[in-house]
Amino acid sequence: MRKHTLMMVALATLALGAMPAFAGKGHGHDNHAVATGQMPPGHAPQAAGRHDNGLHLGWQKQAWKRGDRIAWTEVDPRYYVNDYRAYRLSAPPEGYRWIRPMDDRYLLVDVASGIVAQALGY
């Protein structure tokens, strides 16, 4: 009998001692902070390969349309389409550049302003 009582006290102490480890906000994020972009440092939507919880905040996933503006700081040179004929695209006018943010999707962008003149494949 004494052995069972001692065992129950030990298990209760172990269980109560582990409770502070589970006393957080949970595994989810604050949805308001995610939606408004006010995430704490180190919690960027795509930092360290983490998923953005369906908000698709990366520019690659945006459905671009004519008149949208692209920040050139977000466009990596690997997205430039230099051989536009290979992709059956027309020659870009002076001051414009074709970029390819995703397979089979092309944007003709004004280099000076970042405004999309054409969006193909969207």
Question: At 19, is the pLDDT very low, low, confident or very high (cuts 50, 70, 90)?
Answer: low
Same domain, 75 and 23: no
pTM greater than the 0.85 cutoff: no
Report the Cα–Cα distance between both ends of the chain, in Å, rounded. Answer: 74
Q: Other C-beta atoms within 10 Å of 116: how many?
A: 19
34-56 residue pLDDT tens:
455 555 554 444 455 556 665 55
Q: Which amino acid is present at 4?
A: H
Q: How many domains is the chain built from?
A: 2
Q: Give percent of the chain with pLDDT exceeding 90.
A: 35
Same domain, 53 and 70: no
Same domain, 117 and 64: yes
Half-sphere exposure of 61 (CA within 13 A, CB side): 9
At 73, give phi and psi (nearest 5°).
-65, -20
Q: Which residue has the tokens 């953005």?
A: 52
82-121 residue pLDDT tens:
999 999 999 999 999 999 988 789 999 999 999 999 999 8
Among the three residues 40, 57, 74, which one is the final residue of a domain in this structure?
Answer: 57
Q: Where are the alpha helices (DSSP H) in the chain?
A: 2-18, 31-36
52-87 residue pLDDT tens:
665 555 555 578 899 999 988 888 899 999 999 999
Q: What gap in Å lies between CA 54 and CA 70, rounded to an integer?
A: 21
Same domain, 36 and 63: no
- Structural domain for 51, as ranges: 1-57
- Mean pLDDT value across the chain: 75
Domain containing residue 90: CATH number: 3.10.450.160
